[in-house]
Amino acid sequence: MSWNFKEICIVGLGLIGGSFALNLKHKGYSGKITAVDINPKAVEEGLKLGVIDSGSTNYSIAKSADLIVLAVPVGVYRQVLDQLKPYISKGTVVSDLGSVKGHLVYMCEEFLKGLAPFVGGHPIAGTEKSGVENAVKNLFDGAKFIVTPTENTDKKALEKIVSLWKSLGSQVVEMDPFYHDQVFAAVSHLPHLVAYSIVDAIAKLSEDLKTNLFQFTGGGFKDFTRIAMSDPVMWRDICIENKENLLKVLKAFKDSIEKAENLIRNSNKEELKVFFENSKEKRSSVK
Pairing outcome for strands 32-36 and 67-70: unpaired
Closest separation in Å from C-beta 260 to its own copies: 5
Closest separation in Å from C-beta 131 to its own copies: 13
Q: Which is nearer to its own copies, 55 or 120 (CB)?
A: 120
Taking alpha carbons only, the member of 187, 196, 251, 206 closest to residue 229 is 196
Region from 32-40, 84-92, 118-126, 162-170 binding its own copies, contact rule CB under 8 A: 118-126
106 binds its own copies (CB under 8 A): no
Q: Which is nearer to its own copies, 34 or 225 (CB)?
A: 225
121 binds its own copies (CB under 8 A): no
Closest separation in Å from C-beta 272 to its own copies: 5
Task: Look up residue 112 and give its amino acid.
Answer: L
Is the separation of the CB atoms in 37 and 16 below 8 Å? no
Is the separation of the CB atoms in 51 and 21 below 8 Å? yes
Closest separation in Å from C-beta 206 to its own copies: 8
Among 44, 124, 163, 169, which residue interacts with its own copies (rule: CB under 8 A)? 124
Paired with 94 in beta bridges are 68, 118
Give the count of residues interacting with its own copies (CB under 8 A).
89
Closest separation in Å from C-beta 254 to its own copies: 7
Among 75, 107, 167, 172, which residue interacts with its own copies (rule: CB under 8 A)? 75
CA 149 to chain centre: 17
Region from 12-20, 58-66, 149-157, 218-226 binding its own copies, contact rule CB under 8 A: 218-226
Residues numbered 180-209 forming contacts with its own copies, rule: CB under 8 A? 182-184, 186-188, 190-205, 208-209
Helix (H, G, I), strand (E, B), or coil: what is residue 96? strand
28 binds its own copies (CB under 8 A): no
Is the separation of the CB atoms in 7 and 67 below 8 Å? yes
Closest separation in Å from C-beta 82 to its own copies: 18
1 binds its own copies (CB under 8 A): no
Closest separation in Å from C-beta 3 to its own copies: 25
Among 33, 68, 80, 250, which residue interacts with its own copies (rule: CB under 8 A)? 250
**CA gap 214, 228 in Å, rounded:** 14
Q: Which residues have a Cβ under 8 Å from the Cβ of 135 and sit 6 or more positions away?
A: 15, 18, 19, 21, 22, 49, 51
Region from 29-37, 51-59, 156-164, 270-278 binding its own copies, contact rule CB under 8 A: 270-278
210 binds its own copies (CB under 8 A): no
Closest separation in Å from C-beta 87 to its own copies: 27
Give the sign of the dihedral formed by CA 138, CA 140, CA 142, CA 143: positive
Region from 32-40, 59-67, 110-118, 226-234 binding its own copies, contact rule CB under 8 A: 226-234
Q: Which residues have a Cβ under 8 Å from the Cβ of 16 and sit 6 or more positions away?
A: 71, 97, 123, 126
String of DSSP letters for 134-176: G--TTTTTT-EEEE---TT--HHHHHHHHHHHHHTT-EEEE--
Burial grade of 247 (CB within 10 A; 0-12, 13-18, 19 or more): exposed
